[in-house]
Chains A and B, each alone.
Chain A
Amino acid sequence: MASTPFLCRPSLSNTSISFSSSTSTSLPAHFLRSPSSKNYSRRRILSVRSKIREIFMPALSSTMTEGKIVSWIKSEGDRLSKGESVVVVESDKADMDVETFYDGILAAIVVPEGESAPVGAPIGLLAETEEEIDEARAKAASKSAPSTPKAVTPTPPPPTSTPAPAISQPPPPPAKPASDGPRKIVATPFAKKLAKQHKVNIESVVGTGPFGRVTPADVETAAGITPSKGIGTNAGSNIVSQPTPPKPAPSVAAPPPVPGSTVVPFTTMQAAVSKNMVDSLAVPTFRVGYPVTTDALDALYVKVKPKGVTMTALLAKAAAMALVQHPVVNATCKDGKSFAHNSSINIAVAVAIDGGLITPVLQDADKLDLYLLSEKWKELLKKARAKQLQPNEYNSGTFTLSNLGMFGVDRFDAILPPGQGAIMAVGASKPTVVADADGFFSVKSKMLVNVTADHRIIYGADLAAFLRTFAKIVENPESLTL
């Protein structure tokens, strides 16, 4: 073993480190060590009037931004000689004794034990003579004033053991107004850490998280930096199991960013959606629309709704029953050379969940009855919200249903997800004036259904026939309840 324990000691034990406290006047470097400094400084004092040195929080490691005073080895009024340890400082790495380079009297402790100060901030004052102590204390009192309010430390500062009357700090900031005052700020631990790091006043940040709490992203926004992506949530794996690394950017020069815009990277789920959407461009698709009268379906819905049946379940069931008669629409073209007929009819239903899109799958929708299907759907929704869907519960679809009717959308086009043969886009059902075969006018509820399909395997007539069957089922929905 080449290495010895000695090598590591400095970072572990109470090692001594010297710091150079600067003086209030800038002195030539040679002066600091000059044996004649005393006389020289005396002379200087005449012009500077006093000689009070600040003891700074030293930088004890390259990553240290602030240090905590573990303990003052000396107390106020103690005489110090050069090289003596004065204070123990805790950095992000270790506790270290800090020594003085100067002889003098510890006139005032600016930062008491247990409190933290940024690197370079004065933590104490060193007076050269006793006469200067009072002055130093006055100075300390003025110093501590601005430094105290910034105490945004997560822990309330422990009561200081020595109140140090002479430099008494302003009374501790009044206890935060309890909940009776303005709404208390609730910030997550990481948000507090970020606020401290970026020097953001957390009180001024508007929380957008659950229950109005301040989230790390809120702080980052307030600090004007790009929110870093959250670590390892399981949301992403719901859409694609392996997020692919970003493709090299196309050679098209990106337009210059609009001033003031912010760039927010995709979440894993958004990245997966993006990839799927781009991949869908490789499939030649076409669309066929069909109007469907829904009066009977609506009437049935009113009847079965109390039993927990949802419109989604009704539509999925109807689509599944139509697919049984038109298996080609339930097929997939995987390699561009063959049909892949799917043995089961699995209806994927597009669902918007916060910040994303997911397609829980109702497996064997043709075989399950309406009630089981509704129950299954509720369970899937619950899982989707909790981000607990298993891969086979969102990627096993053979046909997709997308319904924007509840928003009042009357018709829309859906993009065919890769790996499926067709997707059905359902609009809102609206009262429409229709003329029947006998020329009688009446008002019927009609909805427009638009199916996008892969034309490599599904042709216009296939889709039209499928839609006619679907319309028949919806218009005579009794079979749905069988």
Chain B
Amino acid sequence: MQSSLSISVSPHTSLTVQRSNRNALEPLAFAPPSKPLNLRFCGLTREALGFSSLRRNSDSFRFRLSSSARVRRADKFFVSASLSDNGSPPKTFDYDLLIVGAGVGGHGAALHAVEKGLKTAIVEGDVVGGTCVNRGCVPSKALLAVSGRMRELQNDHHLRALGLQVSAAGYDRQGVADHANNLASKIRNNLTNSMKALGVDILTGFGTILGPQKVKVGSDKVVTAKDIIIATGSVPFVPKGIEVDGKTVITSDHALKLESVPDWIAIVGSGYIGLEFSDVYTALGSEVTFIEALDQLMPGFDPEIGKLAQRVLINPRKIDYHTGVFATKITPAKDGKPVTIELIDAKTKEPKDTLEVDAALIATGRAPFTHGLGLENINVATQRGFVPVDERMRVMDSNGNLVPHLYCIGDANGKMMLAHAASAQGISVVEQVTGRDHVLNHLSIPAACFTHPEISMVGLTEPQAREKAEKEGFEISIAKTSFKANTKALAENEGEGLAKLIYRPDNGEILGVHIFGLHAADLIHEASNAIALGTRIQDIKLAVHAHPTLSEVLDELFKSAKVKAHVSGPVSEPIAV
């Protein structure tokens, strides 16, 4: 799912989702945030009760993990022996791998598990596909496909430059909404069928962890599995003071149904989600007001890319914005009154303004969906709802010890709230439980924002790279190329765009690549593959790109980098973040 990089919440809450904070090696004392948000926490008491016995389990498991080879069948006996004093140890397992949550992360893990020969089941309490397929990436891409075309058809200047004449473009709202809905159901069926075809058991009902290797599905069914992956995902985060009625004050869940196109909509949060919706709404004729808690729009993007994006995606459109403000209270439209939004200054907390708009979309990020998961039964304390994990996605209990056979992937662990990251984490876990140690390098996972034009990125931003360079004592360089110099982009009359490379001039390591421009989301993978495989610039710059294609933007980018070293070899070991 989309990442929650933009946080525009009320001042009392402290939900800042920073990857660095998710370092799993931190001591995991159960420390609830000063104010409970609408995030859910597990109860304290039961955790305390379950503490002592579980502690012993984990010790024995840890011993096993460190000393024994991972021979699956042999493990069973070992496990039951070590747990025999624990009341209800599973003697045999119903499944090798049980995945709680059939979103994109769980699906990716399930497919890979089957490939590796594991007997796999997946538990889903709602609909297969999770957020991404049903309420996220997938339907939003359908809406963005429409908005992109609308934009093209409305841009007389652009069309005339191509010699095209098109009379007034219009749209049928229901038709657009149906397109998004149909796409979601199509992808959902594909997902379901792919799992059924491979023999993955889909168990319907909410999964609750009862104890080690044991999960309750629905109200009564108990399933045991040798390894369990939590992949329960996330829900839209709504700061307190905001009343969501689903009609005029909405979250992305509602917005994707496109039940109305308001004349004027305020979007709280200018991260990926907010930005994509602003693209959709303005293309369909709405005016948009952004409300951003930070001083800059589009926090989380590389500042230079953000600035350019603002010039192209915000300033010329029917959008205005309030930065450095919190929306403390949002009241839905009722009794003939519009939606009202009370703003306070993010720093001084002084009341600043009250907005009256037709609708408000809350896009302040996403909160993990871990409530009712039974984590207290295994002495795991969530942190602001996130399940603490180490770099191998192994769940850690409230004492910082690993919980054996339990993993958590995707939005629920908060490392990187992206659908494909969840899937990659799931595959990494399956690799581990089938005997191959694997650590996922999150710096090689690309992210994309599907505005028109698109924004994509992989690795570090320039400020992050500079900080790292200063700390570790190396030099960094920046290279940039423009889409204006690309033949294909000019043929499309879409020369607006920039690709930026952050690298080490001493050894040619790619630290980050950021692209804003036509098909940026598709272009980023050359860079992300290079980072994942440790390819250096001096090597990749010799690779050949078809002419004329947009991929030459990256070709130019790599060629314009000035690397001192000319020896190739692995840049570094993949590092987890």
Contact = CB atoms under 8 A, between A and B. Distances in A.
Nearest to B486: A3
A221 interface: no
A8 B285 contact: no
Contacts of B555: 1
B172 A234 contact: yes
A8 B482 contact: yes
A402 to B, nearest CB: 26
A3 B488 CA distance: 12
B169 A189 contact: no
B297 to A, nearest CB: 10
Contacts of B461: none
A284 interface: no
Range class of the B interface residue count: 35 or more
B481 A5 contact: yes
A253 interface: no
B315 A155 contact: no
A237 B172 contact: yes
Contacts of A11: 482, 484
Contacts of B193: none
Contacts of B172: 234, 237, 390-391
A387 B260 CA distance: 9
A247 interface: no
B168 A190 contact: no
A179 interface: yes
B320 A192 contact: yes
B485 A7 contact: yes
Contacts of A391: 172
Interface in A1-51: 1, 3-5, 7-9, 11-13
Contacts of A275: none
> How would you classify the secondary structure of chain A's contact residues: helix, strand, loop or mixed?
loop
A427 B173 CA distance: 36
A364 B384 CA distance: 57
Interface string B131-171: 00000000000000000001000100000000000011111
Contacts of A210: 263, 338, 358
A186 B480 contact: no
A466 to B, nearest CB: 35
A414 to B, nearest CB: 27
Interface stretch (A135-143, A225-233, A329-337, A444-452): A225-233
B477 interface: no
Nearest to A4: B485
A478 interface: no
A211 interface: yes
B521 interface: no
A154 B168 contact: no
B157 to A, nearest CB: 11
Range class of the A interface residue count: 35 or more
A155 B322 contact: yes
Interface in A334-363: none
A264 interface: no
A154 B320 contact: yes
B287 A188 contact: yes
Nearest to A178: B351
Contacts of A192: 320
A245 B486 contact: no
A213 interface: yes
Interface in B81-134: none
Contacts of A95: 307
B319 interface: yes
B198 to A, nearest CB: 40
Given A210-B263, A245-B167, A9 B285 contact: no
A134 interface: no
Given A154-B321, A230-B285, A1 B552 contact: yes
B170 A236 contact: yes
Contacts of A390: 172, 174
A12 B482 contact: yes
A386 interface: yes
Contact of B173 (A5, A188, A387): A387
A8 to B, nearest CB: 3
A93 B320 CA distance: 18
A233 B264 contact: no
Given A234-B173, A236-B170, A13 B480 contact: yes
A232 B484 contact: no
B334 interface: no
B168 A243 contact: yes
Given A189-B319, A232-B150, A386-B260, A237 B171 contact: yes
Interface in B531-564: 547-548, 552, 555-557, 560
Interface in A70-90: 90
B210 interface: no
A92 B323 contact: no
B112 to A, nearest CB: 40
Interface of B: 150, 154, 167-174, 260-261, 263-264, 283-285, 287-289, 295, 307, 311, 315-316, 318-323, 337-338, 354-356, 358, 480-487, 498, 547-548, 552, 555-557, 560
What 8 pairs across the A-B complex have the smallest Cβ distances? Answer: A8-B482, A189-B320, A190-B318, A3-B485, A5-B481, A8-B484, A154-B320, A8-B485
Given A1-B547, A192-B320, A232-B168, 12 more contacts: A1-B552, A11-B484, A92-B311, A154-B321, A188-B264, A188-B287, A190-B318, A209-B263, A213-B356, A232-B169, A236-B168, A268-B170
Interface of A: 1, 3-5, 7-9, 11-13, 90, 92-93, 95, 154-155, 158, 179, 184, 186, 188-190, 192-193, 209-211, 213, 216, 229-234, 236-237, 243, 245, 268, 386-388, 390-391
18 contacts: A3-B485, A3-B486, A3-B487, A5-B480, A5-B481, A9-B482, A12-B482, A92-B315, A154-B321, A179-B354, A193-B318, A229-B168, A232-B168, A232-B170, A236-B168, A243-B167, A243-B168, A388-B174
